[in-house]
Chains A and B, each alone.
Chain A
Amino acid sequence: DAGVTQSPTHLIKTRGQQVTLRCSPISGHKSVSWYQQVLGQGPQFIFQYYEKEERGRGNFPDRFSARQFPNYSSELNVNALLLGDSALYLCASSPTGTSNTGELFFGEGSRLTVL
């Protein structure tokens, strides 16, 4: 079975630009979460969507937005890019909406470099 797939795997943007990252969850998984991993740090929670509704939001500015589509795939958008947005963006899917019964399955990430 295919795991969580993310695209693009690598991209380079300049300050002020906008970026869209895409994620396809494992088949049958209805929840998608996004994490940002800065070099040398652990992943930091950005968003969670379940059944196309936002379930959680981390401490990120409004420049960060996301959505989930009817097929449960998801997009993360970041506007007005800053140098500090350079990071590995991880998508994770899970079969349930609550972590009390499930676990996160991570993709390999999209590495964003902002120049």
Chain B
Amino acid sequence: AQSVSQHNHHVILSEAASLELGCNYSYGGTVNLFWYVQYPGQHLQLLLKYFSGDPLVKGIKGFEAEFIKSKFSFNLRKPSVQWSDTAEYFCAVNAHGSGTYKYIFGTGTRLKVLA
């Protein structure tokens, strides 16, 4: 069965610190990978996605993620966080070619950035 693990449940950083959130998935086939963000009081929105090609993908607001197939990982990074990055971050996978939007989400990481 597919599963997604996000190792850090809560992360606290100071502004300008670097961020890396871990995401590992379990699935035997080809996957599509996503990071979603939920700012306080707002709906889930897409940060970035990987379908194929260059394993280093860039998203909105300076975020990037690297797909490492051999490690089944899709870690999210940002060189310098801002107070406005305070949010909950979800990693999700979907079986490529499944024909559905059945995403498997991780349990989320709550990021708090201190001003």
Residues of A within 8 A of B (CB): 3-4, 31, 33, 35, 40-45, 48, 55-56, 58, 90, 92, 94, 97-100, 102-109
Q: Which residues of chain A are within 8 angstroms of B100 by Cβ–Cβ distance?
A: 48, 55-56, 98-99
Q: Which residues of chain B are within 8 angstroms of A3 by Cβ–Cβ distance?
A: 43
Q: A98-B99, A98-B100 are in contact. Are A42 and B90 (CB under 8 A)?
A: yes
Instruction: State in angstroms the CA–CA spacing of A55 and B94 once bound together.
Output: 14
State whether A97 touches B43 (Cβ < 8 A).
Answer: no
Interface of B is mostly: loop
Q: How many residues of B contact A (CB 8 A)?
A: 27
The chain A residue sitting closest to B32, CB to CB, is A99
- Number of A-B residue pairs having CB atoms within 8 Å of each other in the complex: 72
Q: A3-B43, A103-B34, A109-B43 are in contact. Are A48 and B102 (CB under 8 A)?
A: yes
Residues of B within 8 A of A (CB): 4, 32, 34, 36, 42-46, 49, 51, 90, 92, 94, 96-108
State whether A108 touches B42 (Cβ < 8 A).
Answer: yes
Q: Which residues of chain B are within 8 angstroms of A55 by Cβ–Cβ distance?
A: 99-101
Instruction: State in angstroms the CA–CA spacing of A100 and B99 once bound together.
Output: 8
Q: Which residues of chain B are within 8 angstroms of A98 by Cβ–Cβ distance?
A: 98-100
Q: A31-B101, A42-B108, A45-B103 are in contact. Are A99 and B44 (CB under 8 A)?
A: no
